[in-house]
Chains A and B, each alone.
Chain A
Amino acid sequence: KAGVTQTPRYLIKTRGQQVTLSCSPISGHRSVSWYQQTPGQGLQFLFEYFSETQRNKGNFPGRFSGRQFSNSRSEMNVSTLELGDSALYLCASSLGPGNNYGYTFGSGTRLTVV
């Protein structure tokens, strides 16, 4: 069974640009969450989506947005990139919303902003 697929794996962008990251969950998983990890920081929660609806959002500025499609695939977008957005972005899927189910993580997208 295919795992959680994140594309691209690596990305280099310039300050001020925008970027879109993609996440395809495990087949049958309808919940997708996004996390950011920066050097020296733990995983910081960005969003949770279920049935194309954002159920919760972390403490990130409005430049960070996301969406989920009817096939459960999710995208997150960061506009007006800043140097501090350089991070590993992880997507995780689970069977359902909330905390009752374990998460399966993708390999991540490493974003570098120069």
Chain B
Amino acid sequence: ILNVEQSPQSLHVQEGDSTNFTCSFPSSNFYALHWYRWETAKSPEALFVMTLNGDEKKKGRISATLNTKEGYSYLYIKGSQPEDSATYLCTGGSSNTGKLIFGQGTTLQVKP
């Protein structure tokens, strides 16, 4: 995987809104995709590790889907809360080497 792109770069929503972000990657040589949440002054926290086309994972109000054939993953947050405010990082690996290529992240601000 040469490049991982995330969109949008930033997002401002109201509390209660549902939102989603996109992570795009070259579909050739795909091996795994990870999502992390990085809150200010904290360490990145793992949300999901996905490897199979069609994978869907859920953690509370947050879910993610993976399409390896077309090279994208979506992260959904249902009913956003102020504590969801963070930068969401997508990262992919093209082989099982542990070398992850990170996207620039999507910064989410949820206003109460």
Contact = CB atoms under 8 A, between A and B. Distances in A.
A104 interface: yes
Contact of A102 (B46, B102, B104): B46
Interface residues of A, number: 29
A48 B97 contact: yes
Nearest to A50: B98
Contacts of B95: 99
A48 to B, nearest CB: 4
A42 B89 CA distance: 9
B43 A31 contact: no
Nearest to A105: B43
Nearest to A31: B98
Interface in A97-111: 97-108
Nearest to B98: A48
B46 A55 contact: no
User: How extensive is the interface on chain B, given as a class?
Assistant: 20 to 34
Contacts of B105: 42
Contacts of A33: 98, 100
B51 interface: yes
Nearest to A58: B99
Given A90-B44, A102-B34, A56 B49 contact: no
A99 B93 contact: yes
A21 B44 CA distance: 19
A56 B44 contact: no
B74 interface: no
A43 interface: yes
Interface in B35-72: 36, 42-46, 48-49, 51
Contacts of A108: 43
A99 B96 contact: yes
Interface of B: 31-32, 34, 36, 42-46, 48-49, 51, 89, 91, 93, 95-105
Given A42-B89, A99-B98, A100-B51, 8 more contacts: A42-B103, A43-B102, A48-B97, A56-B98, A98-B97, A99-B34, A102-B46, A103-B34
